[in-house]
Amino acid sequence: MANFDHQTLEHLKKLCKIECTPEENENILASLGNILNYVEQLKEVNTENTKSCRYVLRGMLKSKLREDVEADLLPREEFLANAPDQIGGMIRVPPILKPGS
């Protein structure tokens, strides 16, 4: 099993576009090491006569959600009254992409 080192962590941080303090780096490396050790332990479990599991949550196969019911829409003014910020009759949200990214 591959080991995570500081170089691999730096690569992952770049891919995820996150920044960490040196203490967080050490905690992340320790956590990743624990996860890899656990995966190694799981490899020792004998699963030869175990049937494959196609559904982890069999109860999710049946929809327990309510039926969609067509109803009247809220008036725009009432809907926008709950918005933290609005502009031109629309909800204003903070930008998620920076120019040049």
> What is the pLDDT, as a whole number, of residue 1?
47
Q: Are 2 and 33 in contact (CB under 8 A)?
A: no
Q: CA end-to-end span of the chain, whole Å?
A: 35
Q: Are 4 and 33 in contact (CB under 8 A)?
A: yes
Residue 97: DSSP 8-state: S
Q: What is the mean pLDDT of residues 73-89?
A: 88
Query: Residue 69 — pLDDT band, cuts 50, 70, 90?
Result: confident
Q: Are 92 and 85 in contact (CB under 8 A)?
A: yes
> What is the pLDDT, as a whole number, of residue 60?
62
What's the fold here for domain 1-45?
A: Histone, subunit A (1.10.20)
Tokens of 80: 């926008």
pLDDT in tens, 29-65: 999 889 989 999 988 999 888 888 776 666 666 666 7
Q: Where are the domains of the chain?
A: 1-45
Q: Is the pLDDT of residue 90 over 50?
A: yes
Query: Residue 11 — pLDDT band, cuts 50, 70, 90?
Result: very high
